[in-house]
Amino acid sequence: MRTQVGIVGAGPAGLLLSHLLHRHGIESIVVEARSREYVENRIRAGVLEQPVEQLLMDTGVGDRMLAEGMVHEGVLLRNNRLDHRIDFRALTGKHVRVYSQHKVVQDLIAARLGDNGQIVFEAADVAVHDLDTTAPRISFTQDGQAQEIRCDVIAGCDGFHGICRDAIPPSHLTHYERDYPFAWLGILAEAEPASRELVYASHDRGFSLLSMRSPTVSRLYLQCALQEDLANWSDDRIWSELSIRLGRGGFALNEGPIIQRGITAMRSFVVEPMQYGRMFLAGDAAHIVPPTGAKGLNLAAADVTVLTRALAAFYRTGSRDGLDAYSATCLRRVWRAQRFSWWLTSLLHRFHDHTPFERRAQIAELDALFSSKAQSTALAEVYVGLPLIL
C-alpha cells in the first residue's frame, strides 16, 4: 500500500488528523491494533474546550456534539468552608462542552468511512521503519498476512503505551515526568447529576470530583491510595465517602446503580522533541496530563491541528518550515497545559506528606483564588481553552 501520511492509532488524535488531512486533499491510512467495537466504546472523559468544539463544528463532525453535548459556563470549586463558582461566561465570554470522548471517536470514524477513508482495525505486530529517510514505512499483520504501507510521513498517534515513541533512538529524546503519590477511584452511575456543572472539592479526607456523561449518568471521582484495592470499595462505601467529601451546606448526591468503576494513576509526562526524522508524535504518545484539568483530548486536537497545517504547506509549496517547527510549536501549548494541570492537581489534592503548615497554606491559596477576580480569570482562560496554535 502507498499513501502520503501513515497514521498509527485510531484514537482521537489519529482519527482527527486523518479527517483534517482529507479536507486538505491529503491521503492517509490509519492503522489500529484494536477492533472497531473496542475503539468506539472505550470510555474516556470528555470536556471539550471551546476551540476544539469550534474545530469539530467547522470541519463537519459536530452535529451530534451540538445535539447531545452539555454546555457548561462555569465550574464550582469547593473546600470545607466555602463554594466559589468560576463563571466562564462572565470572565472570558466562553464555555466548555461535556461530550464523551468515545462519541468523538464514533463521529470521526463515521466521517472517515463516509469519505471512503482507510482505517485498518485489528492490525497485529505493527512496527515503523526508516524514520530518518524520505520513505518511512509501517508494517503490520492482518488476517495472518504481512502488510506494508509506504508513505511520506508517519504520525505516531498510538498513545502512551504505543510503539511509535519507543521506535525513536533513546539518545534523541528527553523525558520529563512526575508520578503523583495518589490515584483516582472513578465510577459511572445511573443517577442524575446533582449539579449542572462540575464540582471540584478539596477536603481534609482528599479530593473528589462530581462530573457527568449525560443528564441521567453521573461520573464521580475520589482521591485514593496509589495501590488501592478496588475490592475494598463497596457501593455503600463509595457513596458514603463521596457524600462526605462533596457534601456541604445541604448539598446531597443523587445515588444510583454503579455501572463502571476503576482506579486511575495520576501522571505528568512530556517527551521532547515530538518528532524524529519523518515521524511526528501527537497526543498521548508525546504527553500525558493528570485528568484534573481535562486537557488530554484537547491537547491531542491542538497537536494534529499544528501537524495538519504543516503538512498542508509541505504538499502545497514543498516548504518544510512547519514540519521542522512542529515540536517547538506544539510544546508551547503542551507546557502551558502541563503547568495548569499540575497546579490544579497540587492545589486540590491531599499529599500524604503534607505537614499541617502545608495544608493551611493550600487552604489559604484556595481562599486567595476565591477572592480574586484576576486569579479566577486566569483559571477560566486556560480551562475554556487557549488557541489551538500559540
Catalytic residue numbers? 72, 200, 291, 295, 383
Strands, sheet with 137-142, edge to edge from the N-terminal-most edge strand:
124-129, 137-142, 145-150
Using alpha carbons, select from 160, 125, 202 the residue that is nearest to residue 44. 160
Q: How far apart are the first and last CA of the chain?
A: 36
Torsion of CA 144, 149, 153, 159, to 10 degrees: -10
Listed in sequence order, the residues at least 6 apart from 103 whose beta carbon sits closer than 8 Å to its beta carbon are 46, 64, 65, 68
Tell me the pairing of strands 153-156 and 5-8. Answer: parallel
CB 354 within 8 A of CB 204: no
CB 232 within 8 A of CB 263: no
Strands (E), the chain: 5-8, 28-31, 47-48, 70-72, 74-78, 83-87, 96-98, 118-120, 124-129, 137-142, 145-150, 153-156, 174-189, 199-201, 208-214, 217-224, 258-272, 275-276, 279-281, 287-288
Listed in sequence order, the residues at least 6 apart from 227 whose beta carbon sits closer than 8 Å to its beta carbon are none
**Residue tagged 476565591 (cell numbers):** 370
CB 153 within 8 A of CB 170: no
Cell numbers for 344: 490544579
H/E run at residue 40: helix 36-40
CA distance 281 to 304: 9
